[in-house]
Structure 1
Amino acid sequence: MTTEAMPEPPPKQLLFDFFAGKSTALQKQWIADWLKESENRVLYYQYLNEWESQHPQYRADVQPALDRFRAAVQQVETTPEPSPFVAVSRGDSWSSRSIWFWAASVLLALSIGGYLSRGVIRYETYHTAYGETRTFKLSDGTTVALNANSTLRVPRWRFGQQGREVKLDGEAEFSVSHLPNHQRFIVRTSTDFAVEVLGTEFVVYARDQRRKVILSRGQVKVLYQPGKQLLMKPGDWIALSESGQLQRKITAQPAKFSSWKQHRFTFDQTSVAEICQLIHENFGLTVRVTDSTLAQRQISGVFKAEKPDELVDDLVDLLQARLVKNGDRIDIQPIVN
């Protein structure tokens, strides 16, 4: 039996036929084998984005649908007779209002689904699980160390050609490569907080509503809140609280803020409550301190821990407290004589 020889890389039309559902079984298998090589996926998504722009899928226009829904509800409220097109069974009654509500919900879900799927196509996503760290290079030469329970989204196309902007949720260290065209590198954590640099090394922390930046070398500009900005120098440490208050310090050892790359946790007058929050963010383990005085005690030192139990045990020994497991939660309690 002879098999058809396929070109390498695949012609654009072959992939377009695949996206349109017109490929043969042999072509589908060949494309699947070709996609096993990660470097081929960039071209695949590029062609997919081009094909989608030429063949737009149905996109729900949500506002008109909601307007029609409201009009239908008003009509039902003023018309007592049931619709002749609605079947009513015992124990499960459907009205015109229910059907219109269901239809509007479906249209809204389709609209949201289409929006989210385009994000998957446009961005390559790097993610770490609880307790996992990861180091990798971007296409512009920038090195990224991603801390546990963090996500970084990078544009799939023209990154380094038409801007360098990434989106971070979690914590990461960036060693940014300087480009000949002096193109800026932007780390965006939300709509109102971003770090803008040319070439430098820094750590960005972005979890919940808290933001922190620690600069090791070079210079960065922090953009926060509408129209506000701050220039940082090496050794600067800034934090933006949930309430929007900006705090600035100077540290002689900025490298300690990225010690998590070696599974080390460095504390400098850090409260026990903050350490428990860090354990939850990095390992997904909930640790509660039952005594408020104990929770406010401050800890300094470097602790090696690849698993949450190691850090919790060190903390309990240092506090001379006791550990009580309560389901999925760990309670740290003072020892009562």
Structure 2
Amino acid sequence: MKYQNYRASDFAADEDFIKWVQQPTEEMDAFWDAYLQEHPWQRTAVQEARKMVLHLSEDSWPAADTALDEVWEQLTAARQRDTEVGEESAVVVALEPAVPNKYALLWAAAAAALLLVSSFLYYQQRETTVTYATAAGERLHLRLPDSSTVVLNANSTLVLPAKWPKDAERTVHLEGQAFFSVTHKHNNQKFIVETADGLAVEVLGTEFSVSSKGNQQQVILESGKVRLKVPGEGEEQQVEMQPGELVEVTEQRHIIQKKVKPALYTAWKNTDLVLENITLEEVGQMLQHSYGYSVTITDPALKHQRITAYLDSNTPGHILSTLSETLQVEVQTQHKSITISSN
């Protein structure tokens, strides 16, 4: 598919994309919905391109066809700036070389979109930070300029520098939940995740999950080693974590540190799910920690029933239907509460 490696500037200059934004149809909506399902990492680029086209669609159109060549010259310059910015931006992809047929587009729509590309990228270069945000039900996969990767969960925001530092600390700001796989640098450059409540997670190279929702701060370490810095009324508290540990910081700044199964807390980041000989109680914990549900198992004997299954769709609905069919249990769901009982 030609859109696989597109950036925002490429989407905004594409005839079919412009038509979809300006005059959407059910067929077009279905195509782009399917595309984003298969290429979730492109969601940010598509959102930015939509803003470009919609914004300029409200402006006046160029007055003469003679301006079109100038517009395409600006596009070339804009794409050159896009490539330069991309070397230090958060999503690193290869840009497919393409020479579009400028007369294949309606000249007015093309001119509008491309002029906006130029101004948008110029403005973007002046920004000091880049923000990535997800809506409900969305997951965003990011590759940072240092080759570290991030999976951003639904209803979450990640802010990082527009220009990635080469020697200074790599610091990002998180609201919500994200899973980090951090690349170790030869100069031992630190990677720090900061939350709105002041929690700082400091690492050199490791895999971990950070959750910052409301007054709850939670870190789960899969591999490597991290140091937490927890602000308090008095001195700052520091906590060293080992693989397989969870640290939770309560609203009262109490620190709870314990051994857990990290996979139960980070299942949300995968598109599929493997349940390998785990108890129903552990599945309930996963639904609670990965998806925010409150789970009640009415029969104590059910808690110890085990299940082994492979789910190609990692959603709460699919998980619950699998439990119901495999273990022959009754599942009732109301808002964010789940009750599991004997059938």
C-alpha spacing 1:317/1:275, structure 2 compared with 1 (3 Å):
farther
Note the C-alpha offset of 1:46.
Answer: 2.5
Name the residue aligned to 1:312: 320
* Structure 2 residue corresponding to 1:122, chosen from 114, 118, 129: 129
Note the C-alpha offset of 1:323.
Answer: 4.4
SS of match in other structure, 1:174: strand
Contact 1:139–1:159 (CA<8 Å) still a contact in 2?
A: no
Name the residue aligned to 1:247: 256
* Structure 1 residue corresponding to 2:124, chosen from 22, 38, 45: 45
Name the residue aligned to 2:177: 171
C-alpha spacing 1:184/1:27, structure 2 compared with 1 (3 Å):
same
Provide, for residues 246-289 of structure 1, a one-character-per-residue CA deviation record: whole Å limited to 9, x for no partner. Answer: 222235x64564343243276778478755645753xxxx7775
Name the residue aligned to 1:9: 77
Note the C-alpha offset of 1:221.
Answer: 0.7
Residue 250 of structure 2 aligns to which amino acid in structure 1? S
Contact 1:272–1:297 (CA<8 Å) still a contact in 2?
A: no
Note the C-alpha offset of 1:138.
Answer: 0.8
Root-mean-square deviation over aligned CA pairs? 4.2
SS of match in other structure, 2:188: coil
Note the C-alpha offset of 1:150.
Answer: 3.0
Note the C-alpha offset of 1:122.
Answer: 3.3
Contact 2:228–2:238 (CA<8 Å) still a contact in 1?
A: yes
> In structure 2, how many angstroms separate the alpha carbons of the residues matched to 1:171 and 1:323?
27
* Structure 2 residue corresponding to 1:134, chosen from 137, 140, 143: 140
TM-score with structure 1 setting the length: 0.55
Residue 116 of structure 2 aligns to which amino acid in structure 1? A
Note the C-alpha offset of 1:298.
Answer: 7.0
> In structure 2, how many angstroms separate the alpha carbons of the residues matched to 1:142 and 1:241?
29
> In structure 1, how many angstroms separate the alpha carbons of the residues matched to 2:166 and 2:305?
42
TM-score with structure 2 setting the length: 0.54
Query: Unmatched 5+ residue regions in structure 1?
Result: 13-24, 50-120
* Structure 2 residue corresponding to 1:220, chosen from 226, 239, 246: 226
SS of match in other structure, 1:2: helix
> In structure 2, how many angstroms separate the alpha carbons of the residues matched to 1:203 and 1:265?
19
Query: Unmatched 5+ residue regions in structure 2?
Result: 1-64, 82-108
Contact 1:321–1:333 (CA<8 Å) still a contact in 2?
A: yes
> In structure 1, how many angstroms separate the alpha carbons of the residues matched to 2:274 and 2:252?
26
Name the residue aligned to 1:32: 116
Residue 66 of structure 2 aligns to which amino acid in structure 1? T
Name the residue aligned to 1:81: none
Q: Answer with 1 or 2: which has the greater Rg.
A: 1
Residue 147 of structure 1 aligns to which amino acid in structure 2? N
Note the C-alpha offset of 1:27.
Answer: 7.6
Contact 2:264–2:282 (CA<8 Å) still a contact in 1?
A: no
Note the C-alpha offset of 1:9.
Answer: 2.2
Note the C-alpha offset of 1:228.
Answer: 0.4
> In structure 2, how many angstroms separate the alpha carbons of the residues matched to 1:177 and 1:27?
41
